[in-house]
Structure 1
Amino acid sequence: MAKSSTPVRKARRSLIWLLVIIGMLVAGNAASVIFSNGSWTPKLALDLEGGTQIILAPQLAGGEEARPSAEQLSQAVAIIRQRVDASGVSEAEINTQGGSNIVVSIPGRPDEETLNRIEQSAKLEFRPVLIAGAPGTTSVGETPTPGAEAPAGETPAAEAPAGETPAAEAPAAEAPAETPAPELESTPTASPTDGSDLAWVTPAQQAAFDAYDCAAADNDNSAAPEDEPLITCESDGSVKYLLGPVGVSGERISNATSGLETTQQGASTGRWAVNIVFDGEGTKQFADISTRLVALEAPRNQFAIVLDGQVISAPVTQGAVTNGKPSITGSFDQESAKTLADQLKFGALPFNFTVQSSELISATLGSAQLVSGLLAGVIGLVLVVLYSLVQYRALAAVTIASLVIAAIVTYLLITLMSWREGYRLSLAGVAGLIVAIGITADSFIVYFERIKDELRDGRGLVSAVESGWKRALRTIIASDTVNFLAAGVLFILAVGNVRGFAFTLGLTTIVDLIVVCLFTHPMLQLLANTRFFNEGHRLSGLDPRALGAVYRGRASFRTPVAGGGGKNAPSAKEAERRRTIAERKAEEELVSSGRVRSTKSEKDS
């Protein structure tokens, strides 16, 4: 009794876990509908819903049109595609037009953050500050490691040196309206020795700085030379700067991520930051410059971070950053920090682009194609159900129920990802869902046939279910692993709608394993203990007589009695066909030793 009850307890536990998973998915979708802009239906891709088409035209400094080379255009398309994908927008299309323009088609209406990802060049520069209209309000330092201490001889970036007020906490009332440049002769007496040398501030530069208006509409510093000073402002126009030449270029960035700023003890400050990782050369350059700036007086101890010609942050350097991992802090929120990190991670566009036009476009295929795709899926599902009824009779109820559970889990996952990750269902994705019906049915067939093999060997149904599951699970895992790897490779290498097909194929493969393990097998464990299935009712699909079951006694191999045209003849033929090579060889050895008569002799007699 204990042995027979153990599979039942395991089956009930598995079904409870399945209900928990479905409940969590339903709760997640409900939360998206109640507290956010979620929906109970998945978002559709460009081919089924339509969206927004943006045409980008390359521009030179001063607003003149540029004609990039084919290589530059391909590079820009690749960078924009990476930025759009990183934003969570799925099934976007990025193409070229006329050998110079770039056409970006995005499903639905893109938000402002998505447009910024596309339009901005994201040319990042680190320049020393020579003159500033107001002191900085942020600080820069090494990205802290929780629990780590500052190296000896270095001042932690999170803390100001003794006796000084941290830049992030400097009272606004004490900040001077403008830090005047020192009086200079008409002609510099010496050439600048480094990027922070005030010899860069010539009378002409001073006059240009005094006359510069941050509110002017024609300000465009995105193409300023890297080896010359730059006059620019904060992105919000609040502070004006005269900056030295570029100290570190954004090309030296190997990675960039966003997250909440933490202290060296691992505590969160609640401010969003962009964490940068330089390559080897960039690490050396930033270490040299940050070491130099620490010893200078304000505002020359500030390091301006310039994005597309505008200062996004001008932190005070409170410690030498020698690990090549500075952290940018400022007026970031979660979205703006992630946007900047993605832009820096994928690199600057080879040209500045302006929006030539932005308009709504209709679906390229339309709802009729979606209905056709869903109809094809329904037809495939009906054929699978009919085959299961003919082949497995009452056992087909498990197949149908498993397919329904798989459809529910898949639908909830796709809907939840539409809200959380911006996933959109395309017609290619629908094709992946249709293919998944065959993958799921294949797993059931493998399992059911293994159970039949065990019944033919003379096992009882409860034992056949457990033994058949152990043999079938290996085959199912191997098959699903191959499907998942194929979907993964296709998703990584492909672009556009093909990725949608690969995504749904991989997702449904995972769902198949979940349903088989947490529903199909537990249901058979429970059904095996019912009288209808356990006694092998002829409509159960597990009738031992219909399967040609063989009783194997000790040292003997026998088949059901064969008759010329009796009702047992098909069972005998089936049993003979199902015998393994090992069984046949063992019988031959016994026959040769005279211990048992051969099957052929029994038939002849």
Structure 2
Amino acid sequence: MVLPFLAVFIGTKTSDATWTPKLALDLEGGTQIILTPVSTDGREPTAEDISQAINVIRQRVDGSGVSEAEISSQGGNNIVVAIPGKASDETIATVSRSSHMEFRPVLVQDYAFSAQPTQAPTAAATGEPTPDATTEPGSDETVAPAPTESADTTADATDDASAPATPEATDAPTQEPTADPTAAPQRPSEPASASDAAYWVTDEIRAQFDALDCTDPSNLGGGTSGKADAAFVSCGVDSEGNSDGLKYILGPVEIDGKEISSASSGLEVLPSGAMGNRWVVNMEFSSTGAKQFTDVTTRLATQSSPLNQFAMVLDGLVISAPSVDEPIPNGQAQISGSFNQTTAAQLANRLNFGSLPLDFKVQSEQQISATLGSEQLQKGLLAGIIGLLLVVVYSLLQYRTLGLVTVASLGIAALLTFGVITLLSWTQGYRLSLPGVAGLIVAIGITADSFIVYFERIRDELREGRTLGAAVERGWARARRTILASDAVNLIAAFVLYFLAVGGVRGFAFTLGLTTIIDVIVVFLFTHPLMELLSKTKFFSEGHPASGLDPRRLGVVGARYVGRGKVVTGRRTDVEPGDDATADAVRTPATVGARQDGLTIAERRAAQRAAEQGTTKDRAVSDAPKDDTAGDAPVEGSEH
């Protein structure tokens, strides 16, 4: 519990962290930006163009660390972006930046974060260690001519992915020998091609590449691709905008994304005309793009990995980097790899959007007030406090002093939740919305339910005659399965809501899932250990009437020593209402600390003899002759 507050304390001293969570758009207000898509080719943007533009902007906003932003279409022509709080100039520029796709050759490929020392770029610098295509996502994609010639025209990318990557001798001019054979060759004065790593990979580019950590979410928000005629360092991302585990040094732009005529996904068509079982992406270029693509693939097909790859760069991030094994002369290509239906469709959509010549014009930018405001937040928190008080009152009435364990556990859970949400608000950009507050209120009942299940299991064990210490251990063994099953159901519901819903519902799902995890932590690491400690105290172990574990309240009366180290309690079975709880009554034998079926052989035989003796005495009493007149006294006014 101390860790999140300690982290926030450090953040307040070294960064912009605060002691309270940031609020979402509905509670704090924010900045609203209205963008108008403008086509650069004179045509009118379609509804599909607007939808794809919204997806790209949403990825930018999420990548910048802004949470609970609202992005929607207005009138089918404009895009409205509402960002909580005061949006920075950098965020506004990121949102309104035009999206652009381009194709660049891959010069160096490495893991997303590598601390390996690297040498100065030389003609052999392109022999950078290449991740195994069978283990790194995105490294097994290949591009081949559309299936009009042969389906076996390309080899699997895994065939050469692990081979050392060395460029062809024609890629870099031959260097003159120097006096020092270990010295790096001088950089050529002119590049042999866009794949000439010896020319394009300068010391500055190499330093940027070594310093780039593509596991850091701040480097995955996208941006501009830099100068078209210079090398560029970039991260690889998957269809969800997360790191695919790779980073790249790319050569200059060779094909612009606007040259893509169309892109689609589907199952592979075999040479026989039958449908295969692999999902592929089909891509077609314009006439200008087809000629450029032919020249590029002709050169790349003669290279070894990773120089035989070309990167598709969207918003400054590599969305795919397939390898080329043969020239593609007709501008119709097919990308294959470890695709499924969803990922193939997502790549096709991104390629289509990359071909859209759209710019975004900022029509207006203004501050908007909270849609609900602080009053609604106060009412939400008041509802939570009322619910918490009702749970506390019920716990104290039902469990007496034991109810204080519930109160303490709820307090620990509340502090831990507040600390974690505040920490996430600082580190991950999380913002608390009113649906999120509703999730916190629901969590009160979920957390209290776990304690009730545990306490009732302990009571059940006490009713069976166990001591409190044994009841706590056995009750915990039974209760934890129920608690984990219940919390698992809540967690599944939270995951489904979070990934299938949008907007405020995701805020509700997030807090619901977070508090469910915290509930498990509190029950396992606080409530159960606390009960073990309390079971060793005289107040609880002897069943004080105010403890909540009083045997009389639970239906177990008295306790007596019967010899042989055994203590037998009696369970009331026929006590009428109003009878003294300590009066003699018929009792069901139960041995404290063990079940009846856990007795030793000697104990069972002794119990059997005692039962037989009791039965014999009862029969002797019932068979004895009765004297109807004995003890009778004359009653005045009666006849005998």
Query: What interval of TM-score do these two structures reach, taking the shorter chain for normalisation?
Result: 0.5 to 0.7
Correspondence for 2:100: 123
Correspondence for 1:29: 8
Correspondence for 1:155: 166
The equivalences for 1:105-124 within 5 A come to 105-111=82-88, 114-124=91-101
Q: Distance in 2 between matches of 1:490 and 1:255?
A: 17
- The DSSP-based 3-state class of the residue aligned with 1:94 is strand
| Inter-CA distance 524–349: structure 2 relative to 1 (3 Å threshold) | farther
Counterpart selection for 2:454 from 429, 437, 447: 447
| Inter-CA distance 254–469: structure 2 relative to 1 (3 Å threshold) | closer
Deviation per CA, 1:245-300, whole angstroms, max 9, x where unpaired?
xxxxxxx986765599779xxxxx9xxxxxxxx9956899999946615879xxxx
Counterpart selection for 2:394 from 360, 366, 387: 387
Correspondence for 2:407: 400
Counterpart selection for 1:51 from 25, 30, 40: 30
Deviation per CA, 1:364-386, whole angstroms, max 9, x where unpaired?
11111111111111111111111
Deviation per CA, 1:426-454, whole angstroms, max 9, x where unpaired?
01100100110011111111111111111
Preserved contact between residue 560 and residue 568 of structure 1 (Cα < 8 Å): no
Correspondence for 1:88: 65
Counterpart selection for 2:53 from 56, 70, 76: 76
Structure exhibiting the larger radius of gyration computed from Cα positions: 2
The equivalences for 1:210-289 within 5 A come to 258=243, 289=296
Specify the code of the residue in structure 1 equivalent to 2:48.
E
Preserved contact between residue 53 and residue 353 of structure 2 (Cα < 8 Å): no
Specify the code of the residue in structure 2 equivalent to 1:80.
I
Q: Distance in 2 between matches of 1:372 and 1:571?
A: 56
Q: Distance in 2 between matches of 1:472 and 1:143?
A: 53
Preserved contact between residue 44 and residue 425 of structure 1 (Cα < 8 Å): yes
| Inter-CA distance 533–320: structure 2 relative to 1 (3 Å threshold) | closer
| Inter-CA distance 154–259: structure 2 relative to 1 (3 Å threshold) | closer
| Inter-CA distance 400–466: structure 2 relative to 1 (3 Å threshold) | same
| Inter-CA distance 146–420: structure 2 relative to 1 (3 Å threshold) | farther
1:358 Cα deviation (Å)?
1.5
The equivalences for 1:434-583 within 5 A come to 434-549=441-556, 559=572, 562-563=575-576, 565-568=578-581
Preserved contact between residue 572 and residue 587 of structure 2 (Cα < 8 Å): no
- The DSSP-based 3-state class of the residue aligned with 1:104 is strand
Correspondence for 2:19: 40
| Inter-CA distance 495–137: structure 2 relative to 1 (3 Å threshold) | farther
| Inter-CA distance 572–512: structure 2 relative to 1 (3 Å threshold) | farther
| Inter-CA distance 161–529: structure 2 relative to 1 (3 Å threshold) | farther
Given the alignment of the two structures, is residue 103 of structure 1 paired with residue 80 of structure 2, yes or no? Answer: yes
Correspondence for 1:369: 376
Q: Distance in 1 between matches of 2:317 and 2:548?
A: 71
The equivalences for 1:263-342 within 5 A come to 289=296, 292-293=299-300
Preserved contact between residue 417 and residue 423 of structure 1 (Cα < 8 Å): yes
Correspondence for 2:262: none
1:86 Cα deviation (Å)?
3.8
Preserved contact between residue 59 and residue 352 of structure 1 (Cα < 8 Å): yes
Counterpart selection for 1:418 from 425, 435, 438: 425
Deviation per CA, 1:517-568, whole angstroms, max 9, x where unpaired?
1001111100000000011000001001111027999999953562462133
| Inter-CA distance 280–390: structure 2 relative to 1 (3 Å threshold) | same
Greater Cα offset, 456-465 or 137-146: 137-146
| Inter-CA distance 407–119: structure 2 relative to 1 (3 Å threshold) | same
1:31 Cα deviation (Å)?
2.5
Which structure carries more strand by proportion? 2
In the alignment of these two chains, the number of paired residues is 452
Deviation per CA, 1:325-359, whole angstroms, max 9, x where unpaired?
99xxxxxxxxxxxxxx9x97996495332221122
Q: Distance in 1 between matches of 2:76 and 2:496?
A: 31
Q: Distance in 2 between matches of 1:556 and 1:539?
A: 20
Deviation per CA, 1:167-226, whole angstroms, max 9, x where unpaired?
xx9978x746xx999xxxxxxxxxxxxx99xxxxxxxxxxxxxxxxxxxxxxxxxxxxxx
Preserved contact between residue 436 and residue 509 of structure 1 (Cα < 8 Å): yes
Correspondence for 1:226: none
Preserved contact between residue 69 and residue 84 of structure 2 (Cα < 8 Å): yes
Preserved contact between residue 45 and residue 426 of structure 1 (Cα < 8 Å): yes
| Inter-CA distance 24–572: structure 2 relative to 1 (3 Å threshold) | farther
Deviation per CA, 1:358-410, whole angstroms, max 9, x where unpaired?
22111111111111111111111111111111111111111111011000110
- The DSSP-based 3-state class of the residue aligned with 1:474 is helix
Correspondence for 2:215: none
Q: Distance in 1 between matches of 2:402 and 2:569?
A: 32
Specify the code of the residue in structure 2 equivalent to 1:100.
N
Q: Distance in 2 between matches of 1:440 and 1:235?
A: 49
| Inter-CA distance 566–347: structure 2 relative to 1 (3 Å threshold) | farther
- The DSSP-based 3-state class of the residue aligned with 2:466 is coil
Preserved contact between residue 556 and residue 569 of structure 2 (Cα < 8 Å): no
Q: Distance in 1 between matches of 2:432 and 2:359?
A: 32
Query: TM-score by structure 1 length?
Result: 0.62
Q: Is there any run of 5+ residues in structure 2 with no aligned partner, and where?
A: 107-120, 136-159, 177-183, 196-223, 231-236, 250-264, 266-278, 285-289, 327-334, 338-346, 560-565, 589-595, 597-610, 623-640
1:71 Cα deviation (Å)?
3.2
Q: Distance in 2 between matches of 1:345 and 1:411?
A: 43
1:105 Cα deviation (Å)?
0.3
Q: Distance in 2 between matches of 1:388 and 1:304?
A: 62
Preserved contact between residue 561 and residue 568 of structure 1 (Cα < 8 Å): no
Preserved contact between residue 558 and residue 582 of structure 2 (Cα < 8 Å): no
Greater Cα offset, 555-564 or 441-450: 555-564
Preserved contact between residue 29 and residue 38 of structure 1 (Cα < 8 Å): yes
Q: Distance in 2 between matches of 1:560 and 1:180?
A: 99
What's the C-alpha RMSD, in Å, of the aligned pairs?
5.3
Preserved contact between residue 46 and residue 363 of structure 1 (Cα < 8 Å): yes
1:52 Cα deviation (Å)?
0.8
Preserved contact between residue 11 and residue 17 of structure 2 (Cα < 8 Å): yes
Flag the structure with more relative contact order, 1 or 2, with Cα contacts below 8 A and sequence separation at least 6.
1
Correspondence for 1:429: 436
- The DSSP-based 3-state class of the residue aligned with 1:546 is coil
| Inter-CA distance 566–81: structure 2 relative to 1 (3 Å threshold) | same
Query: TM-score by structure 2 length?
Result: 0.58
- The DSSP-based 3-state class of the residue aligned with 1:544 is coil
1:37 Cα deviation (Å)?
1.5
Q: Distance in 2 between matches of 1:112 and 1:449?
A: 57
Q: Is there any run of 5+ residues in structure 1 with no aligned partner, and where?
A: 1-21, 130-135, 182-194, 197-233, 242-251, 264-268, 270-277, 327-340, 576-582, 584-593
